[in-house]
């Protein structure tokens, strides 16, 4: 069996961050947050990396990320643009209704499908997952040929003091996912954690609720099913300029239709990341602390 592939979702617009957070300098030698995920993945058994970006940020991505990695990282680029893989009539309708939202993370993944020929993991470019998480996911993808996986994190450890966040709330039974519900406005206020729905209703959530941070593992056979779900999404959502096809939605569909099972992997792993610009200072400090403790070298790729 081939060694697993790491797929990095780095095509985001960063509207809440106010810029390209996927290339912003976080590390002690100017590394972006995704550098640490790539470093951890390669030393945990992943064979290569596929970066999914937009054509309009390719120059910046090459100069600010890839030039630093040099030949140390075996990689390929895939591109997610508004019209990539989108039928012409659907794209024309999206332009007519002035859609500015991207098509979502499931669409991004499909943009790299032709480069995936082995079990693969999918991560966000702007999250830190820790080496322990990559180790358990790599071991699972190497051993299990027909099963997906997720490394979930505690909800209360994934919130931002700057504002609301989106998280995939996971239902888990006997070590397997039974549901994933994407909640897009989770906040913490006065010791209370809650999600606010579009109609304004609030729902309390326990601090230890397991959530998806888009740290997924898939067998390569999952790609056709993901494509099927995305095609159905386009049929029902073309008239809505704000809807996106998220990976948690896709996984929930795969589970409900008994197409693919997903194991919930346990790892003593920390998470942190940058959702808002104000998150950068604390994230930079946490990376510096890990470097000071010897978890990472001061310069990852030198």
Q: Does residue 300 form part of some domain?
A: no
Phi then psi for residue 227, to 5 deg, are: -65, -40
Helix (H, G, I), strand (E, B) or coil at 98: coil
Give Cβ neighbours of residue 70 (< 8 Å, ≥ 6 apart). Answer: 301
The per-residue pLDDT of the chain, averaged, comes to 93
Q: Does residue 302 form part of some domain?
A: no
**Could you tell me the pTM of the whole model?**
0.94
Q: Does residue 299 form part of some domain?
A: no
Tens digits of per-residue pLDDT, 27-52? Answer: 999 999 999 999 999 999 999 999 99
Q: Does residue 298 form part of some domain?
A: no
pLDDT (mean) for 266-283: 88
CB 133 within 8 A of CB 45: no
Q: Does residue 284 form part of some domain?
A: yes
Tens digits of per-residue pLDDT, 204-238? Answer: 999 999 999 999 999 999 999 999 999 999 999 98
Residue 61 has pLDDT above 60, yes or no: yes
Q: Does residue 175 form part of some domain?
A: yes
Number of domains in the chain: 1
User: What pLDDT does 68 receive?
Assistant: 92
Q: Does residue 64 form part of some domain?
A: yes
CATH of the domain at 114: 3.90.550.10
Given the DSSP bridges, would you call strands 5-9 and 262-264 parallel, antiparallel or unpaired?
unpaired
Sign, CA dihedral 177-182-188-193, equals negative
Question: Residue 145's domain spans which residues?
Answer: 5-292
Q: Does residue 63 form part of some domain?
A: yes
Identify the band that residue 267 occupies on the pLDDT scale cut at 50, 70 and 90. Answer: confident
């Amino acid at each position: 069996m081939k060694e697993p592939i790491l797929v990095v979702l780095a095509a985001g617009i960063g509207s809440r961050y106010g810029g390209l957070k996927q290339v912003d300098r976080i590390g002690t030698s100017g590394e972006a947050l995704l550098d640490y995920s790539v470093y951890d993945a390669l030393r945990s058994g992943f064979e290569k990396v596929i970066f999914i970006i937009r054509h309009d940020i390719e120059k910046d991505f090459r100069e600010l990320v890839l030039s630093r990695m040099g030949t140390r990282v075996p990689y390929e680029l895939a591109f997610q643009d508004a019209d990539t893989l989108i039928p012409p009539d659907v794209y024309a309708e999206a332009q007519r209704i002035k859609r500015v939202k991207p098509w979502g993370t499931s669409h991004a993944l499909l943009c790299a499908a032709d480069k995936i020929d082995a079990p693969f993991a999918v991560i966000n470019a702007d999250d830190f997952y820790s080496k322990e998480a990559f180790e358990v996911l790599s071991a699972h993808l190497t051993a299990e040929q027909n099963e997906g996986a997720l490394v979930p994190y505690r909800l209360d450890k994934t919130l931002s003091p700057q504002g609301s966040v989106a998280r995939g709330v996971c239902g888990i039974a006997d070590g397997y996912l039974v549901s994933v519900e994407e909640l897009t406005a989770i906040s913490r206020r006065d010791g209370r954690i809650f999600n606010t729905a579009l109609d304004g209703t609030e729902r309390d959530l326990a601090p230890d609720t397991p959530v998806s941070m888009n740290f997924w593992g898939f067998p390569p056979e999952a790609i056709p099913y993901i494509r099927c779900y995305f095609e159905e999404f386009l049929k029902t959502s073309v008239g809505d300029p704000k809807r996106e096809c998220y990976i948690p939605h896709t996984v929930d569909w795969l589970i409900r239709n008994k197409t693919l099972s997903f194991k919930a992997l346990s790892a003593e792993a920390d998470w942190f990341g940058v959702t808002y610009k104000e998150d950068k200072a604390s994230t930079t400090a946490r990376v510096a602390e890990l470097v000071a403790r010897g978890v990472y070298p001061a310069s990852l790729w030198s």
